[in-house]
Amino acid sequence: MRKSAIIGLITIAICIGFLVSLNAETDTYSNFIEASSSNKEEHVIGHWEKNKGTHYDALKDPNHFAFYMKDEKGDVKKVVLNGTKPQDFERSEKLVVIGKMENETFYASKILMKCPSKYNDEMVEISQDGQVKPYKKS
């Protein structure tokens, strides 16, 4: 067999190798119900349940941030993040929490937020007295 053919085969094998591993490493978003029966880290997508507020008291524990999130199925569960309150949390439109579910509480190791885009500029509101303010939807 020619050398170039061997090299070609090895290359193809490596490529297949990482395609397979990419497929194995990727995951789909889940929800709280699925997460409660799963043993691995899950990505749950949802949004912050505003009326229940947030709980963060750096004086007590700077690494504990709790809030309620509604997932795409409409379940509302408590989420606890081991870390500080993310910057700009209140402005988030969509959240992805990564972690595990235990006893009706989701322990997140990481939170991804979709804000009204960091580079996209939101609308401004010019209030009656001529003051320019960021425009808040709803």
Partner 1 sequence: MDIQFIGENLLPGKLGQFFIVLSFVASLLSTISYFLAVKNKDEQNKSWTKLGRIGFLVNVGSIIGIGITLFYLILNHYFEYYYVYHHSSKTLPVYYIVSAFWEGQEGSFWLWAFWQSILGAILIWKAKTWENGVMTVIAFSQVFLTSMLLGVEIFGQRIGSSPFILLREAEDLKSMAPVVFADPENFKNYLKFIVDGKGLNPLLQNYWMVIHPPTLFLGFASMVVPFAYGIAALWTRRYKDWVKPVLPWTLFAVMILGTGIIMGSFWAYEALNFGGFWAWDPVENASIIPWLTLIAGVHVLIAYKNTGHAFFTAMALMLMSFILVLYASFLTRSGILGDTSVHSFTDLGMFGHLIAYILAFVIISVYFITTRWNELPITHKDEETYSREFWMFIGALVVTVACLQVIVTTSYPVFNKIFGTSKLLSNPIEYYNKWQAGFAFLVTLISGFSQYLKYKRTDPRRFYSSLISSIVFSIVLTALFVYFTKVYTKPMYILLTFSCLFAILSNARLLTGVFSSKGSKLAGSAIAHIGFAVLLLGALVAAATSKPVSINESNFIAVKDFEKNQKPGENIMLYKNEPKKMGNYTITYVSDTTIEPNTFYKLNFKVFDKEGKVKEDFDVNPSIQENGKMGLIASPDTKHYLTTDIYTHITSAAEKKEEHGDHEGHSEEENYKAPRIVTLAVGDTIHTSSGVLTVNPINRNPVVKDLKLAPGDLAIGLPLEVNVSGKIYKTEPLFLVKGNNTFDFARKIEELGLRLRFTKVLPDQNKFEVQVYEKPQQAKDWIVFKSIEFPFINLYWVGTIIMVVGFLISIFRRKKELKTS
Under the binding rule (CB under 8 A), the answer on residue 138 touching partner 1 is no
The CA-atom distances, in angstroms, between 44 and each of 28, 66, 71, 135, 138 are 9, 15, 7, 29, 25
φ/ψ bin of 110: left (φ > 0), alpha (ψ from -120 to 50), beta (otherwise): beta
Which backbone phi and psi does 34 adopt, to 5 degrees?
Answer: -65, -40
Nearest distance from C-beta of residue 76 to partner 1, angstroms = 18
Strand-pairing partners, residue 30, are: 44
Binding to partner 1 (CB under 8 A) within 88-127 occurs at: 88, 91, 94, 98-100, 102, 105, 107, 109, 112, 114-115, 117-121, 123-127
Q: CA 113, 114, 116 angle in degrees (round to 5)? A: 135
| Residues from 40 through 69 that contact partner 1 (CB under 8 A) | 41, 43, 56, 58-64
**Which of 130, 136, 137, 138 is close enough to bind partner 1 by CB under 8 A?**
130
Q: Token match 């524990």: residue? A: 61
Binding site for partner 1 (CB under 8 A): 2-4, 7, 11, 14-15, 18-19, 21-22, 25-29, 41, 43, 56, 58-64, 80, 82-85, 87-88, 91, 94, 98-100, 102, 105, 107, 109, 112, 114-115, 117-121, 123-132, 134-135
